[in-house]
């Protein structure tokens, strides 16, 4: 009987030890969860910036190809590439057509009007200590004039507040894209800490302007790609 009692006692102590280990493990996981989430979110934001910049470069090549007379009207226009003899020159990877931050993966299409882009241009200007970078491609100037003239230098929107935006994802001439996500970001892009306010556009892309920074480590700058087609 004493032996049985001792066995039960040992089993109880073992169970308590296992439960204690599980409790410690749970505490460690809970403590690590925020940093793991931040790192995962940071990687998603980095990927979103990379893809957004690819789309901005594709828009630039599209505008140059059509001599500044037209803008793409859907992401498919960019995915289809540009005529080059009997073939087509691809200007956008298929993966870049998906926004990692939006629930449905679709990018918002930003029109070349006096609405969303002036606020972003003002942020770029502030980021560059009051200097708004000029367009590296003169053919883009016709689209930027209305933007520059619409910049409000007196009132500033909250960098972290979500926008009330027009959710257009297709069939509209556009000069840039932005995420549908209204969340505050882990990283900052031109000093902006909200996904919906990150506008990826070929406009206002001076050498000092494109340098997104994070509240953690700095995001490495990615200069625009060199033109890949003749005459561009």
- Write out pLDDT tens, residues 15-32: 666 676 666 655 655 555
Q: At what angle do helices 116-127 and 141-149 cross, to 10 degrees?
A: 90
Burial 154-184 (b: 16+ CB within 10 A, else e): eeeeebeeeeeeeeebeeeebbbbbbbbeee
pLDDT band at 97; cut points 50, 70, 90: very high
112-159 pLDDT, tens per residue?
A: 877 778 888 888 888 888 887 777 777 887 777 767 766 665 445 566
Start-to-end CA distance of the chain, whole Å, equals 92
Render pLDDT for 113-126 as a digit per residue (tens, 0 to 9): 777 788 888 888 88
Q: Which residues have CB under 8 Å from 231's CB, separation 6+?
A: none
């Amino acid at each position: 009987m004493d032996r049985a009692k001792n066995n039960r006692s040992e089993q109880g102590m073992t169970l308590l030890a296992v439960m204690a280990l599980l409790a410690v493990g749970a505490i460690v996981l809970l403590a690590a969860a925020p940093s793991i989430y931040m790192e995962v979110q940071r990687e998603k934001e980095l990927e979103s910036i990379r893809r957004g910049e690819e789309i901005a470069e594709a828009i630039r090549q599209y505008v140059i190809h059509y001599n500044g007379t037209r803008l793409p009207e859907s992401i498919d226009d960019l995915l289809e590439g540009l005529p080059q003899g009997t073939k087509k020159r691809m200007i956008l990877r298929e993966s870049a057509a998906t926004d990692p931050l939006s629930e449905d993966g679709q990018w918002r299409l930003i029109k070349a009007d006096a609405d969303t882009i002036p606020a972003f241009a003002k942020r770029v200007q502030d980021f560059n200590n009051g200097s708004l970078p000029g367009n590296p491609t003169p053919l883009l100037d016709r689209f930027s004039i209305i933007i520059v003239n619409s910049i409000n230098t007196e009132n500033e929107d909250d960098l972290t507040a979500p926008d009330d935006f027009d959710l257009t994802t297709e069939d509209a001439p556009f000069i840039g894209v932005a995420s549908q996500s209204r969340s505050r970001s882990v990283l900052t892009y031109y000093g902006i800490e909200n996904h919906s306010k990150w506008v990826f556009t070929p406009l206002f892309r001076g050498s000092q302007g494109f340098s997104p920074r994070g509240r953690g480590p700095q995001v490495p700058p990615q200069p625009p790609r060199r033109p890949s087609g003749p005459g561009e």
